[in-house]
Amino acid sequence: ETAEWLKFRNEIFLEPIRFFEGTFALGYQRNFNHSAVSVLPSITLKGESLLGFEDSFYSELEGFGLESIYKIYFAQMPRWIQVYFGPYGAYRYLKEKNRLPDWIDVVDYPHLNNRDLFTHYNVMMGGVLFGVHFMWGRFTLDINVGGGVRYPFISGFRADGRNAPIVSVPSSLWEMGFKGIVPKSNFTLGVAF
């Protein structure tokens, strides 16, 4: 068991739940004796079929993100199960392509000179996660929960005060425009090498 952990210090992992939100997230983790550093870049591409239920202004969403966790293990490695806590930091950029529904007359809003408009989200997050990391041979599973602070910088169509009568920034807890304390969790599957 000791030799196995020493032999496999690197991991490649993915976060399968993110597929359901139109995001592909593939990460890398480097394991040390009492800690690990995990980096998770992601790409988001969503079409109208995934966003149509939100409101009639959504059309497309694209962007990228980067998340990093520094895991500090409670139990000394090497073991097949590790309990950890650690700080995380994340950045996410999303560009939302908005389309004016047919019921809006552009004559009433002369500043909207284009039927396709954009909202830009630059979101920063940071906090603490508690988790469990399993390793069976080369296969890994990581589950963590925690929380932190999310702060978005929003510009463009939804943030423009002149558009307030017809549209607003999505700001409920699970939406991109929410500012404040948020829960966070991850579930990843990986391969060690």
pLDDT of residue 104: 79
In percent, the amount of the chain with pLDDT more than 70 equals 87
Domains in the chain: boundaries: 2-192
pLDDT of residue 8: 85
Residue 3 has pLDDT above 50, yes or no: no
Fold of 2-192: Porin (2.40.160)
In which band, very low, low, confident or very high, does the pLDDT at 22 lie, cut at 50, 70 and 90?
confident
Q: Annotate 54-74 with DSSP letters as a single string.
A: T-TTEEEEEEEEEEEEEEEES
As a whole number of angstroms, the distance between CA 4 and CA 138 comes to: 9
pLDDT of residue 115: 63
pLDDT of residue 1: 47
Tokens describing residue 83: 């309990």
HSE-up (13 A, CA, CB side) for residue 181: 3
Residue 74 has pLDDT above 90, yes or no: no
Closest CA to 192 of 129, 141, 132: 141
| H-run or E-run covering 188 | strand 180-192
Q: Which residues contact 129 (CB under 8 A, 6 or more apart)?
A: 69, 85, 86, 87, 88, 144, 145, 146, 184, 186
pLDDT of residue 141: 97
As a whole number of angstroms, the distance between CA 161 and CA 96 comes to: 17
